[in-house]
Structure 1
Amino acid sequence: MDDELSGEKWGRKFPGSTNTRDLSGNFRLAVEDFLYAMKEAGIRVAINATYRPPQRSYLMHYAWRLARKQLDPQHIPKMAGVNIEWDHGEIDASVKAAKAMLIVLQIHHLPIKPALRSQHNSGLAIDMDLLWNGTVEVKDASGNMVKIATLPRTGMNRQLIAVAATYGVKKYNGPGSDRPHWSNNGY
Structure 2
Amino acid sequence: MTTHVTKLSGAHWVRRFDSSSNTRDLSGMFRYAVEDFIAAMTAAGIKVSVSATYRPLKRSYLMHWSWRIVNDGIDPSSIPSVPGVDIEWVHPTTAASVNAAREMVEALSIRRLRTKPALRSQHNAGLAVDMSICWRGAVSIKDATGALVQIKTGPRTGMNKQLIEVGATYGVKKYYDGIKDVPHWSNNGR
TM class by shorter chain equals: over 0.9
Amino acid paired to 2:155 = P
Given the alignment, which residue of 136, 149, 152 partners 1:149? 152
Alpha-carbon displacement from aligned partner over 1:110-147 (angstroms, at most 9, x marks no partner) = 23221111100000000001101111010011111111
- The answer to whether the aligner puts 1:60 opposite 2:68 as a matched pair is no
Paired with 1:178 and 1:8, the residues of 2 have a C-alpha distance of: 22
RMSD value over aligned CA atoms?
Answer: 1.3
> Which secondary structure state, in structure 2, belongs to the residue aligned with residue 68 of structure 1?
helix
- The answer to whether the aligner puts 1:100 opposite 2:103 as a matched pair is yes
Given the alignment, which residue of 13, 31, 54 partners 1:28? 31
Paired positions, count:
187
Return 106-115 or 93-102, whichever deviates more.
Answer: 106-115
Amino acid paired to 1:105 = L
Paired with 1:69 and 1:39, the residues of 2 have a C-alpha distance of: 38
Alpha-carbon displacement from aligned partner over 1:73-92 (angstroms, at most 9, x marks no partner) = 11000111101010113211
When the two structures are superposed, what TM-score results if normalisation uses the length of structure 1? 0.96
For structure 2, the residue ranges without an aligned partner over 5 or more in a row are: none
Paired with 2:129 and 2:180, the residues of 1 have a C-alpha distance of: 15
Give aligned-pair identity as a percent.
58
The verdict on how the C-alpha distance between 1:69 and 1:172 changes in structure 2, with shifts beyond 3 A counting, is: closer
1:37 corresponds to which residue? 40
1:166 corresponds to which residue? 169
- The answer to whether the aligner puts 1:179 opposite 2:182 as a matched pair is yes
Given the alignment, which residue of 78, 81, 85 partners 1:75? 78
- The answer to whether the aligner puts 1:84 opposite 2:87 as a matched pair is yes
Paired with 2:169 and 2:11, the residues of 1 have a C-alpha distance of: 41
The verdict on how the C-alpha distance between 1:176 and 1:44 changes in structure 2, with shifts beyond 3 A counting, is: closer
Amino acid paired to 1:114 = P
Amino acid paired to 1:128 = M
Which stretches of structure 1, 4 residues or longer, exceed 6 Å deviation after superposition? none
- Measured after TM superposition, the shift of residue 60 of structure 1 is 0.6
The verdict on how the C-alpha distance between 1:70 and 1:82 changes in structure 2, with shifts beyond 3 A counting, is: same
Q: How does 1:120-135 map to 2 (within 5 A)?
A: 120-135=123-138
2:113 touches 2:180 (CA, 8 Å); kept in 1?
no
Alpha-carbon displacement from aligned partner over 1:46-73 (angstroms, at most 9, x marks no partner) = 1111111110010011011112352111
> Which secondary structure state, in structure 1, belongs to the residue aligned with residue 48 of structure 2?
strand
Given the alignment, which residue of 13, 22, 30 partners 1:19? 22
